């Protein structure tokens, strides 16, 4: 998802755009609106999302998948261009993303990934770098009319040549097919010169004639070109800062100032993507690592140096001699051995291993004989002389590649190996070192997940551990009988891939295991669950773990090779340590009824857990990783206390869980239980005819009025004999729509994803049939607009017989109310059937347009609860192996029937509601120095639905007349929007009545706001009247200045600053003064200091400004200084008035002598009662 930092990147928080890791969704680019940084667009693999409130809420505005690049049109951010990674398409979004069209589509001709570029120097000219299906260049396309149409600007030759190069291939002259356009693709236009472009693939090319011709700018290796400018291969992004161009590639970050000479500025960036690590056992500080894109590197005496190039893969150091080391490049293309610490090296790849290996080819040393090494390609090879000679010990009869090999330390004839190909993996074992190709498949009973590593217990060849890749609970498996059977030992781990596992062989008391996962390192001691072992380690993919064993175990080290954050090391676990509490969760912002999975991240092997969940259900838990349901909107804290034999530790995360209202038409929190009265319809209305009383639907029945449900108006319904109705005139997917078992809550109407099973109102959905005198009836009573449609089920019983029939004569009613659109379920008296002390379950509630939680409202209870003890939930019933959730019912006293008349009422929320939240205008304005005025309004969509294309109107009457209308294209649920109107230039003195309004909606109580403004000759003030809501000052022992920002038009001096002195006795005798500040917080002029008296309290006081300079068409700040209190109490000298939220960038605080201006911000909720009086000045 998208993370947000408000402190320069020191800390990060999630936003409203989050995805589950298992979903595989990538956010590929963010665009921040150039004029409003609250508006952000996110290009993702699921489409384009937009936020208008700095990430709190996001709305998908474009659903096409795999959007990889986006650009604003310079000067007009209402237009956005977007491109696709796989489909060779470009899209143009207009009207701030509300409208879209496909403007380029070359997929059928071979176009695939596209990168876009545009220059502010030529905003209508859009460039597109288009990769071909083979990764080479398809074309560079250009649009000269803001994306309306495209033409070919540049196309490589067929075949490519030095005169018409393929810009995406690896050759110096561009004279070959193909490339890596699916992986590395970048394009930029010089913002200072629209004719200069840079194109990045494996290499970087430059054009100085607008893209018509290209020349090589930098090249990937000096091995093939000694005279080229050498910059690391695989370009991913370009960016300008002034005249400096920056390039991001697989080697790091480079820059050029003159467009031709490049400088590597990557030093200090720790982002190595390490596949494997090898450690010396004879020198604790000798290490070797294999890196993606950046070769194999060695660490010795505190210094990293290159061993050899290519993509570095598996590597290891002879445990008897740290001068003897081994490494390889990708797919085992070359195996390299050094006998002198990489002063030189030898290629020792088996001569008959002509096939490629896996990307990371398994390459390892025998744990007992340092002269013996192994490597796996299609076959497995063994050398007993350090790689001089090889023999094959596993001859494979398929093209599968070996991924992992593990040799038992206690019996090196026992070897385990994993091969994979064509979607299937196999785990193999030999007990005779592979002699005579004697291997056994031991994959039976293992999951289908990919095996990511194998480790054999140090003292038992039959105990083996494997890690698996997958987003499920199958993370680590163990066998203690050589692979005959397997057990899942993943308890305590999140559902993420594990990549490596290692055993600490120095622990002789318990089996001590470490695994590297996509979230970091975890520890397992003996039979205890896995716990996070991640202190100071970022949340990062750990690909490999190795242990350096010191003669003193306390000095041994665990080394973790991460994919993207370099190499890390840690002491091994010390049991004599109290735990350190920490946790995370799979979601932090949810809707009512959601369940959150909490994951313990505590360090140092806690033995017990005590959770407290404010607002959660249950409120407490002793599980290590509990699942908690939240039903009520709000913000809640979570506390975790962890304990082991050495102590305990707690952590509380305040405001950690936020439960937001969902978008249902009916909300669980508005549902009511009423002790009502059941009135049988008797002969009123008409009988509803069905073919029978068992699994049957009626024909469409008139409601008698238009009933709005889930934002749709219905005039008819269809009754189903199994206790529900469907609004509309089409039947549900099948007549026997109910839970298929009487005591289970699956495969019911709330679970159905069939398109017909929508708009359902279910009062008691169970398998029902005729009881005594069955009847279905409808009666619409009352007069418009307050009519009520009552649908009655009568004389029916539960058909299920396991357990036996509970009730022979059920009766209940669904009531639909005109205008309010309320729904009521009313239950009558039920006659007991066969005596049977058990329970059954029914589905009760509302279903909208689908089975997702945002479209359900269910009613549930346990059978022992009274019918006045039900719960309401905007989600489906929980699925649990230990308990059946639903509207559970039974008979006898311990399982009561409904009280006659018990009623459940469902009240719809407002679908369309724009709240005019705030009006921002001056309370006093100057016609001499205050024109033009900018009046604005803050709107909030508090309804369920987005509201599109509506007008916001400003009306000013009385002393001055003015009207303006702003059309808003869209405001989405929960979004806020600041609307600024055209300039207002009053000419008459007196009072202006200012009103802002929005169109009628579902709640017209908040559709308008009014404000009174006084136009004067020379006064400015944000307050109009003399009534403060509170006083404001500094706490005891502190001093400082409060400031309000104003704009002066023309030439004026500040005659006085006018402050309302709050009526508070502690203000008497205190010294205050005022000042004029510039926008940097510097004091320009000030008043004399005065001591407040009782005569000053509760009124406006003018402070004459001494020696004011002339201000011309500029912003100034009026400041009120509160000196340190001269008593033992604080004082609050300045009056303030409520203003929620406070207008943006207006009210500040600073030091008593000025300095940095600190914005109070919108959440402060007040305005200062402080203005000023301007005086005329001769022009400067």
* CA nearest neighbour of 408 among 384, 432, 378, 388: 432
Identify the CATH assignment for 583-659 out of 1.10.1040.10, 2.60.40.10, 3.50.30.50, 2.40.10.10: 2.60.40.10
Confidence label for 880 from pLDDT (cuts 50, 70 and 90): low
Residue 47: closest CA among 21, 72, 29: 29
d(CA 351, CA 349): 6
Question: Average of pLDDT values for 561-588?
Answer: 89
Closest CA to 914 of 1011, 1008, 819: 1008
Average pLDDT over residues 556-567: 95
The answer to whether the CB of 137 falls within 8 A of the CB of 156 is yes
**pLDDT value for 662:** 53
What is the Cα–Cα distance from 190 to 193, expressed in whole angstroms? Answer: 5
Other beta carbons less than 10 A from residue 739's beta carbon: 26
What's the whole-number average pLDDT of the chain? 92
Q: Which residues contact 188 (CB under 8 A, 6 or more apart)?
A: 117, 197, 198, 238, 239, 240, 245
Instruction: Provide mean pLDDT across the span 1057-1077.
Output: 96
Which class would CATH give 1028-1176?
mainly beta
Which class is domain 274-500?
mainly beta
Planar angle of CA 243, 246, 250, nearest 5 degrees: 170
Instruction: Please report the pLDDT score of residue 1179 as a whole number.
Output: 43
Please enumerate in sequence order all residues whose Cβ is within 8 A of that of 241, keeping only pairs 6 or more positions apart, or say none: none
The predicted model gives 762-774 an average pLDDT of 93
* pLDDT over 70 percentage in the chain: 97
- Nearest CA to 960 out of 1009, 917, 922, 1007 is that of 922
CATH class of the region 914-1016: mainly beta
> 856 with 876: CB under 8 angstroms?
yes
Instruction: Tell me the pLDDT tens digit for each residue of 231-274.
Output: 999 999 999 999 999 999 998 999 999 999 999 999 888 889 99
Give the whole-angstrom CA distance, residue 1180 versus residue 1178.
6
CB hemisphere CA count around 21 (13 angstroms):
15
For 123-151, give one letter per residue: b (16+ CB within 10 A) or e.
bebbbbbbbbbbbbbbbbbbbeebbeebe
d(CA 696, CA 1029): 65
Burial class (CB in 10 A: 0-12, 13-18, 19+), 945: middle
HEC string for 291-345: ECCCEEEEEECCEEEEEECCCEEEEEECCCCCCCEEEEEHHHCCEEEECCCCCCC
Q: What is the pLDDT of residue 660?
A: 62
666 Cβ partners below 8 Å, 6+ apart?
A: 710, 823, 846, 857, 906, 907, 908, 909
What is the model's pTM? Answer: 0.52
- Integer Cα distance of 546 and 367 in angstroms: 13
The beta-strand segments (E) located in 831-946 are 831-832, 839-847, 856-860, 871-873, 887-890, 902-906, 914-920, 924-926, 936-941
Q: What is the mean pLDDT of residues 145-168?
A: 95
Q: Which two structure tokens, joined as six digits, stand for 69? A: 């690049």
Task: For residue 1180, name the pLDDT band (cuts at 50, 70, 90).
Answer: very low
* Structure confidence by residue, pLDDT tens digits, 959-1012: 999 999 999 998 876 578 999 999 999 999 999 999 999 998 877 878 999 999
CA angle 193, 194, 199 (to 5 degrees): 105
When pLDDT is averaged across residues 862-883 and rounded to a whole number, the result is 82
Q: How confident is the model at residue 743 (pLDDT cuts 50, 70, 90)?
A: confident
- The SS3 call for residue 126 is strand
CB count in 10 Å sphere of residue 346: 12
Q: Identify the weakest region by mean pLDDT among 240-249, 941-950, 1069-1078.
A: 941-950
Do the Cβ atoms of 1070 and 1089 come closer than 8 Å? no
**What's the sign of the alpha-carbon dihedral 481, 482, 487, 493?**
positive
Q: Report the alpha-carbon distance of residue 667 to residue 633 in Å, rounded.
A: 11
Tens of pLDDT, residue by residue over 1026-1052, are: 789 889 999 888 999 999 999 999 999
Is 111-264 CATH 2.130.10.10?
yes
| Residue 169 contacts residue 161 (beta carbons within 8 Å) | no
Q: Where are the domains of the chain?
A: 111-264, 274-500, 583-659, 668-906, 914-1016, 1028-1176
Indicate the pLDDT class of residue 393, thresholds 50, 70 and 90: very high
Higher pLDDT, 614 or 603: 614
Q: Is 179 left (phi over 0), alpha (psi -120 to 50) or beta?
A: left
Give the tokens for residue 499: 């990549």
Predicted confidence (pLDDT) per residue in 185-230, tens digit? 999 999 999 999 999 999 999 999 999 999 999 999 888 888 899 9
What is the predicted pLDDT for the residue at 413?
A: 98
For position 590, what pLDDT does the model report?
76
Residue written as token pair 């049977």: 836
Length of the chain measured in residues: 1180
Report pLDDT digits (tens) over 491-517: 999 999 999 999 999 998 889 999 999
Q: Is the pLDDT of residue 837 over 80?
A: no
| Equal fold, 111-264 vs 274-500 | yes
User: How many beta carbons lie within 10 A of that of residue 619, not counting itself?
Assistant: 11
412-452: per-residue pLDDT in tens? 999 999 999 988 999 999 999 999 999 999 998 899 999 99
* Locus of tokens 């009422």: 905
Q: What is the DSSP letter of 269?
A: -
Q: Name the 3-class secondary structure at 751.
A: coil
C-alpha to C-alpha distance for 105 and 88, rounded to whole angstroms: 6
Distances in Å between the alpha carbon of 1131 and those of 391, 1066, 1122, 1159, 1167? Answer: 90, 5, 9, 22, 18
Q: What is the pLDDT of residue 941?
A: 78
Of 593, 664, 671, nearest in space to 904 by CA: 671
Residue 1155 CA to residue 1145 CA, distance in Å, equals: 16
Asked if residue 865 has pLDDT above 70, the reply is yes
């Amino acid at each position: 998802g998208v993370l947000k930092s408000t402190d320069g990147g020191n800390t990060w928080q999630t936003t409203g755009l989050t995805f589950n890791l298992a979903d595989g969704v990538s956010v590929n680019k963010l665009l921040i609106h150039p004029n409003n940084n609250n508006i952000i667009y996110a290009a993702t693999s699921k489409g384009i999302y937009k936020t208008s409130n700095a990430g709190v809420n996001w709305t998908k505005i474009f659903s096409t998948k795999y959007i990889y690049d986006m650009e604003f049109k310079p000067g007009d951010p209402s237009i956005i261009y977007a491109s696709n990674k796989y489909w060779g398409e470009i899209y143009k979004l207009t009207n701030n993303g509300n409208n879209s069209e496909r403007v380029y589509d070359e997929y059928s001709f071979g176009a695939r990934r596209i990168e876009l570029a545009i220059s502010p120097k030529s905003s209508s000219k859009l460039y597109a770098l288009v990769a071909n299906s083979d990764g080479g260049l398809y074309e560079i396309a250009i649009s000269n009319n803001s994306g309306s149409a495209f033409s070919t600007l540049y196309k490589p030759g067929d075949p490519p040549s030095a005169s018409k190069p393929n810009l995406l291939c690896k050759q110096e002259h561009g004279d070959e097919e193909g490339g890596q356009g699916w992986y590395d693709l970048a394009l930029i236009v010089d913002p200072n010169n629209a004719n200069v472009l840079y194109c990045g693939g494996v290499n970087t090319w430059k054009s100085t004639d607008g893209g018509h011709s290209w020349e090589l700018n930098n090249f990937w290796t000096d091995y093939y070109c000694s005279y080229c400018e050498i910059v690391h291969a695989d370009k991913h992004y370009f960016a300008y800062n002034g005249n400096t161009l920056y390039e991001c590639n697989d080697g790091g970050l480079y820059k050029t100032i003159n467009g031709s000479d490049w400088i590597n500025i990557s030093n200090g960036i720790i982002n190595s993507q390490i596949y494997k690590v090898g450690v010396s056992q004879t020198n604790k500080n000798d290490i070797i690592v294999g890196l993606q894109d950046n070769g194999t590197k060695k660490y010795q005496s505190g210094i990293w140096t290159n061993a050899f190039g290519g993509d570095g893969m598996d590597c290891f150091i002879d445990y008897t001699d740290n001068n003897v080391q081994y490494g390889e490049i990708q797919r085992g293309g070359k195996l390299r051995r050094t006998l002198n610490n990489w002063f030189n090296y030898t290629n020792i790849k088996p001569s008959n291993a002509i096939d490629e290996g896996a990307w990371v080819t398994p390459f390892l040393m025998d744990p007992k004989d340092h002269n013996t090494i192994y490597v796996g390609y299609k076959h497995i090879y063994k050398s007993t002389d350090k790689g001089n000679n090889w023999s094959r010990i596993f001859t494979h009869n398929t093209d599968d590649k070996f991924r992992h090999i593990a040799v038992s330390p206690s019996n090196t004839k026992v070897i385990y190996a994993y091969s994979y190909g064509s979607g299937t993996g196999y785990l193999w074992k030999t007990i005779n070192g592979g002699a005579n190709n004697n291997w056994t498949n031991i994959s039976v009973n293992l999951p289908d997940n990919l095996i990511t590593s194998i480790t054999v217990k140090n003292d038992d060849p039959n105990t083996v551990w494997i890690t698996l890749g997958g987003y499920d609970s199958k993370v680590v498996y163990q066998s203690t009988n050589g692979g005959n059977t397997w057990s899942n030992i993943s308890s305590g781990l999140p559902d993420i891939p594990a990549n490596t596992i290692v055993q600490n062989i120095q622990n002789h008391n318990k089996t001590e295991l470490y695994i590297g996962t996509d979230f970091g390192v975890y520890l397992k001691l003996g039979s205890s669950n896995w716990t996070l072992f991640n202190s100071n380690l970022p949340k990062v993919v750990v690909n490999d773990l190795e242990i350096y064993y010191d003669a003193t175990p306390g000095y041994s080290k665990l080394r973790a090779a991460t994919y993207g954050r370099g190499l890390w090391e840690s002491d091994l676990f010390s049991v004599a340590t109290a735990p350190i509490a920490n946790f995370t969760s799979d979601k932090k912002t949810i809707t009512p009824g959601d369940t959150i999975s909490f994951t313990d991240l505590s360090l140092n092997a806690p033995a017990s857990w005590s959770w407290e969940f404010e607002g959660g259900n249950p409120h407490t838990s002793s599980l290590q990783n509990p699942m908690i349901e939240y039903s009520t909107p709000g913000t809640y804290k979570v506390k975790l206390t962890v304990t082991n034999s050495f102590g305990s530790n707690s952590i509380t995360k305040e405001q950690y869980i936020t439960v937001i209202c969902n978008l249902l038409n009916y909300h669980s929190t508005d549902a009511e239980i009423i002790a009502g009265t059941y009135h049988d319809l008797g002969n009123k209305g008409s009988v509803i005819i069905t073919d029978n009383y068992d699994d049957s639907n009626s024909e469409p029945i008139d409601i008698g009025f238009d009933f709005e449900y889930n934002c749709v108006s219905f005039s008819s319904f269809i009754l189903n004999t199994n206790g529900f109705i469907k609004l509309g005139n089409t039947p549900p997917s099948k007549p026997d729509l109910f839970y298929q078992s009487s005591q289970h809550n699956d495969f019911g109407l709330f679970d159905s994803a069939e398109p017909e099973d929508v708009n359902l109102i279910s009062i008691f959905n169970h398998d029902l049939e005729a009881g005594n005198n069955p009847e279905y009836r409808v009666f619409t009573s009352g007069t418009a607009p307050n009519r009520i449609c009552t649908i009655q089920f009568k004389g029916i019983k539960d058909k299920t017989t396991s357990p036996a029939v509970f009730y022979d004569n059920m009766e209940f009613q669904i009531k639909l109310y005109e205008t309010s659109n309320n729904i009521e379920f009313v239950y009558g008296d039920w006659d007991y059937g066969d005596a049977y002390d058990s329970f059954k379950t029914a589905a009760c509630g509302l279903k909208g347009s689908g089975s997702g939680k945002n479209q359900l409202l269910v009613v549930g209870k346990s059978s022992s609860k009274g019918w006045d003890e039900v719960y309401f939930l905007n989600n489906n019933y929980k699925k649990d192996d230990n308990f059946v959730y639903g509207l559970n019912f039974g008979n006898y006293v311990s399982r009561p029937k409904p009280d006659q008349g018990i009623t459940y009422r469902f009240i719809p929320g407002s679908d369309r509601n724009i709240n005019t939240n705030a009006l921002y205008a001056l309370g006093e304005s100057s016609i001499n120095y205050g024109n033009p005025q900018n009046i604005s309004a803050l709107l909030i969509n508090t309804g369920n639905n987005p509201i599109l294309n509506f007008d916001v109107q400003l009306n000013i009457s009385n002393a001055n007349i003015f009207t303006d209308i702003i059309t808003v294209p869209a405001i989405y649920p929960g979004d806020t929007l600041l609307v600024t109107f055209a300039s207002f230039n009053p000419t008459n003195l007196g009072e202006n009545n200012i009103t802002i309004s929005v169109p009628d909606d579902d709640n017209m109580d908040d559709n308008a706001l009014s404000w009174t403004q006084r136009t004067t000759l020379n006064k400015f003030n944000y307050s109009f009247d003399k009534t403060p809501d509170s006083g404001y000052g500094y706490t005891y022992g502190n001093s400082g200045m409060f400031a309000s920002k104003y704009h002066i038009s023309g030439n004026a001096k500040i005659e006085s600053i006018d402050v309302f002195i709050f009526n508070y006795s502690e203000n008497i005798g205190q010294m205050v003064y005022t000042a004029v500040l510039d926008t940097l917080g510097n004091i320009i002029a000030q008043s004399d200091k005065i001591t407040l008296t009782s005569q000053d309290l509760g009124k406006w006081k003018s402070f004459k400004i001494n020696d004011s300079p002339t201000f011309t068409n500029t912003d100034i700040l009026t400041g009120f200084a509160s000196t340190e209190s001269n008593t033992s109490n604080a004082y609050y000298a300045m009056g303030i008035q409520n203003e929620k939220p406070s207008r943006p960038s207006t009210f500040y605080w600073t030091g008593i002598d000025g300095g940095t201006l600190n914005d109070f911000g919108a959440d402060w909720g007040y305005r200062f009662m402080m203005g000023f009086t301007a005086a005329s000045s001769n022009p400067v």
